[in-house]
A and B are shown apart, each in its own frame.
Chain A
């Protein structure tokens, strides 16, 4: 009997092992069926210490038990590069925060999921400010690739106390602006009229003044016209602020956001162009009474213009969780999360009508001037070359023009070439 059992022993072990494997497999399958779908999401924050996004993700995960969002912060300066390489390596996120700068490039590479079928099922779509859907498209008739989320328009900060002391009115035109900048410039005191940003990220400030000067990057047909006569003239005016009138600090060619903000906060400059995202930092430092804000002055006051840029959300074409990813990014564009986000230190403009009409935005002068600017703001066109121009091409050529190494026309020819690549 014992000998027989001993002979059967290997067989019994095999049967037991197979049974165990089947049992564990079925338990794993059942666990997997119950496990929430993981959505990997990337974003950058202007202020990485801001806790609001973490709170929003916790709220979403708590109210959507079938989805679990895992997010990762990537600095804006590295965001584009990391995204491209991660997507190429197949390890990219399912969804991510996205700038309109990169839309043309990523759509050309088929890296973004067209969203119309998802949006059609989204109940919040009617609340989005109508023309903002266009910021997520390549052509007006084409599909939406980017959910509008937070946008900015550029305006001009000025030192109210200095202007009052000098008997100056807040500038409305290019002439007013230049006169005020000259009057408030005193190199001996290390004081300058305008904080010109020639370094990283300065292309938005530049574009705001370019369009206010009558230039356009593309015409109605999408043809690049930035290097036409109007463009060259507006660009020359901007370059002359530094080269001829010397109303900007000598560091202007390489000054980035931290430098222009710091110079304004520390009383080295009287004006600088930025958006609502810096309003808390500026007023905290200088006091609300000393800081004024006006729309970007225009060459022709009858033709006001500024620049707008959208930070939206996209779902990547390679994602296996597109439905869940869209659920998350569309939730971010719903009333309550959007109000929380816009009211945080990230403080950009809400894209929902229901949020924009809340008194905390309509009665805040920084939000009000920004939202008014949205009526005539011009965005970067969705061309494949915008990603490169905004990342490096503009900066190198702007700096060369500010240093007198190339002319206004040469600079714009280079930018036009890069935009069309």
Chain B
């Protein structure tokens, strides 16, 4: 015969097992609610908006338009230019930030007098607010009395001042230059941290085996940096693709559409033209393109990682 005490303890344990998920769920709920509220809801809302025509101050006039906004993409002459600019912007900025960051990390990893100070100073561009960076570079690149023009003319490289932000061929590269300057420290710091984690014995062993500095870098440093490169480059690609502050302040997407990227086109369409349906459609398309690019990038890098290993 089972004692009543034991039976009650078993029941309690059983019920505890049954409700074991309640406590974790309760503890996770603040983060979950936040995630649902600030990530999931806007995504669902943007998808919903892309199938509707919304008069923002007259929600009663909102109407379902099916795929009209998506069909509009095919008739929008600006979308192609914005897409091309976006690709150039992301690839160019991330590539040069990475290369600059890699060089910076290797330099900062060496021992030299005042290294600690230089490491601190190197972070300044990354810590500077985007608006300040944009204004600073706008004035430095100014076509009438900018510092960059002044230096180039005095150095004899240019014969006269160039309106860097007002020429179709130079406007986007000029903004990219500002973003590369701002983003190099991010790569430098991340790669520096990864470099410092590589055991010194590996370098010593390679050198004893007679490997040159280049071969040490290629066969020891680079493979061990690869996981960090992978994650930082991916993050930076996502951030850069969505980053429009600099472009908006420095050129407004112009001259014409010369520096207009997809997020800026979506922003102008939604907030200046007040066409939130089509603006959301552009944003959704960008998300899909970006997701596809990231998946392709990760697959390619995993293949390379396997090959290196």
Contacts and interface: CB of A to CB of B under 8 A. Distances in A.
B143 A251 contact: yes
Q: Which of B56, B59, B143, B257 has the most CB of A within 10 A?
A: B143
Interface stretch (A54-62, A253-261, A359-367): A253-261
A262 B138 CA distance: 13
Interface string A374-407: 0000000000000110011101100110110100
Interface stretch (B113-121, B156-164, B177-185, B232-240): B156-164
B273 A84 contact: no
Contacts, number: 104
B150 to A, nearest CB: 10
A199 B254 contact: yes
A96 to B, nearest CB: 14
Contact of B145 (A200, A268, A388): A268
Given A81-B272, A268-B144, A399-B256, A87 B57 contact: yes
B166 A251 contact: yes
B165 interface: yes
Contact of B56 (A85, A249, A391): A85
Given A190-B144, A266-B145, A250 B252 contact: no
Contact of A391 (B143, B253, B257, B272): B272
Nearest to A89: B56
Interface string B227-260: 0000000000000000000000001111111000
Contacts of A403: 168, 255-256
A396 B274 contact: no
Interface string A76-97: 0000110011011000000000
A111 to B, nearest CB: 5
B254 A399 contact: yes
Contacts of B110: none
B271 interface: yes
Interface string A336-363: 0000000000000000000000000000
Contacts of B57: 84, 87-88, 106, 109-111
A199 B253 CA distance: 10
Interface string B294-306: 0000000000000
B75 to A, nearest CB: 14
Contacts of B204: none
B63 interface: no
Contact of A249 (B163, B252, B255, B256): B163
Interface string A219-256: 00000000000000000000000000000011111110
A254 B165 contact: yes
A254 B144 contact: no
A200 B167 CA distance: 16
Interface in A195-216: 198-200
B256 A84 contact: no
B32 to A, nearest CB: 24
A19 interface: no
The residue in B145, B167, B274 that gathers the most chain A C-beta atoms within 10 A of its C-beta is: B274
Given A88-B57, A254-B166, A396-B257, A259 B144 contact: yes
Contacts of B162: 250
A239 B92 CA distance: 33
Interface in A39-55: none
Given A268-B144, A392-B272, A402-B255, A250 B163 contact: yes
A124 interface: no
B164 to A, nearest CB: 8
A253 B254 contact: yes
Interface in A102-149: 105-106, 109-111
Nearest to B274: A84
A249 to B, nearest CB: 6
A392 B142 CA distance: 22
A263 interface: yes
A187 interface: yes
Contact of B252 (A80, A190, A387, A395): A395
B58 A110 contact: yes
A84 B56 contact: yes
A386 B164 CA distance: 30
Contact of B163 (A251, A396, A405): A251
B289 to A, nearest CB: 23
A85 B279 CA distance: 14
A188 B257 contact: no
Interface centre among A81, A106, A259, A262 (most CB of B within 10 A): A259
B166 A396 contact: no
Given A84-B271, A253-B256, A396-B256, 10 more contacts: A84-B57, A85-B271, A109-B57, A190-B160, A190-B161, A200-B252, A253-B255, A262-B142, A392-B272, A405-B256
Interface of A: 80-81, 84-85, 87-88, 105-106, 109-111, 187-188, 190, 198-200, 249-255, 259, 262-263, 266, 268, 387-388, 391-393, 395-396, 399-400, 402-403, 405
